[in-house]
Amino acid sequence: MGIRRIGSGVFVLLLSVFSGCSSDSEPAAVKIPATADIIAPVPANNGVLAFSSVTTAGVTVAWSAATDDTTPQSDLTYKVYYSTVQADVASTASIAEAALTGIPAEAEATSIEITGLLPNTAYYMNVIVSDAAGNAAAYTASSSTTLEPVDTGPATVGGSGTLTASNVATSSLTLSWAAATDAVTNQADLTYQVYLSYTATGVVDTLENINNALNNTGDILAVGSNTAGATSLDVTGLASATTYYFNVVVTNAGNYQAAYTQLTQATVGYMYLYLSPTTTGSIPGSGTARQNVDAFCSGVPAGCSTFHAVINTIESPAPSGSDTIENMRVNLHIPPTYVVRTSNIGTGYQVASNWNNLLANGPCNTTAEPASTCAATGESASTLAIALGQSRAWSGSGLAGAASGSVCKYTGNAWGSSSSGILGNTMHLDSQTASSWLNDGFGYTTSCDYSYPLLCVCW
């Protein structure tokens, strides 16, 4: 009797059949099935996995080749499984239960590159090795964390880099901008720093100039703190009627920076109308006509450093020269953009948006208008009188010194009667001969010796 293998899993039992003492008969062959392959492969190196080439979106996982009692090592197959949940890849059973899709490795390969992963994320991985009979074994699950993204350039400024100013006041304003975007850094994590300068160019107009000014302690000031996710900043402590130059620098996680577009913005300036002490017009003649009449404008409101009488100083009876109310803005350098208010600073009434508006349209048309509003057109006979607390005041001659009736005007050293026009309501050009909100003497006196204040302006 003998056993001979004739094929995979099939053995032949050879039996000799004896007849008496003779042994000349040929053996009879009987086929017997071999035992089935039920033993799983054995992962090498205790199933340890190794990771390399880790990026923000991928990793290479490697293992040592397994062995099997039946299937040749070159015929073993491998699949890699991964999950962000550690329990999912702990064993072959948990992998099946989690219904994970394996990534097959090439024949005889002992590594594979996994791609399409999320950045800065821990992934738990395992390898399943299978033999020809379908027996499978798991390696030892292990984890690898993808890299955090790294910026390689600056963020893109929002709104094409446009800055806007709102709530502009004498000493403050609100600076606003659109949020920047970045390929890596979250929008909420981008930081913003506001800078200002008194210089138009070469300081905050470009990122390079900003950095140069900071390094060389130039004419630059960082306002507020470097704040993440900010899109506006209330800037305070500014000087009134002053032009500032603003810019914003955005910084991403890679410390790359980008500058917005420089904004030029002036704070609000105010000029104030007020009344001088009362006078009958007895003016000393020691100086020029303008000096003599301006000398009456004492009691200058706090906050003003320059003051003038709102009056023509053209000598009459024949008006001549250029020192007219009309030319005061240019001759006396009255700021063209300052808001015109009455003298009780802080709570005073706004009477015009600027000097030219006052001359063209007159004071606002309500008797108790707050500083925040002002009518563009229309006048009231009582507006300025109520605001100033005086219904009559010496006002001089007409806007441009034009004659319009017998009125009192400054003649160089005294008040006198002449036909030289009035201020009156001439701030509204179509009512130049009226005297509804300032007393010009017309209808009140012909001798011009009454005691009234003089209308003055200061800034």
Fold of domain 158-266: Immunoglobulin-like (2.60.40)
DSSP string, 326-363: TTHHHHTT--TTPEEEESSTTTPPEEESSHHHHHHH-S
Q: Where in the chain is the domain with CATH 3.10.100?
A: 269-459
Q: Which H or E element spans position 13?
A: strand 10-15
Rounded to whole angstroms, the Cα distance separating 414 from 283 reads: 5
Query: One-letter amino acid identity for 106?
Result: E
Cβ of 326: how many Cβ atoms within 10 Å?
17
Chain centroid to Cα 379, Å, comes to 42
**CATH tag, 269-459:** 3.10.100
What pLDDT, in 10s, does the model give residues 291-310? 777 888 898 988 889 999 87
Rounded to whole angstroms, the Cα distance separating 398 from 379 reads: 17
Task: Say which residue, 146 or 400, is predicted with more confidence.
Answer: 146
* Residue 4: pLDDT over 80: no
Phi and psi, residue 83, nearest 5°: -160, 160
Q: Where in the chain is the domain with CATH 2.60.40.10?
A: 45-145, 158-266
Q: Tell which residue, 88, 92, 79, 84, has the closest CA to residue 40.
A: 92
Homologous superfamily of 45-145 in CATH? Answer: Immunoglobulins (2.60.40.10)
User: CB-hemisphere CA count at 13 Å for 88?
Assistant: 15
What pLDDT, in 10s, does the model give residues 205-235? 999 999 999 998 678 999 999 999 999 999 9
How much is the pTM?
Answer: 0.60
What pLDDT, in 10s, does the model give residues 26-68? 555 555 555 788 999 999 999 999 999 999 999 999 999 999 9
Cβ of 370: how many Cβ atoms within 10 Å?
11
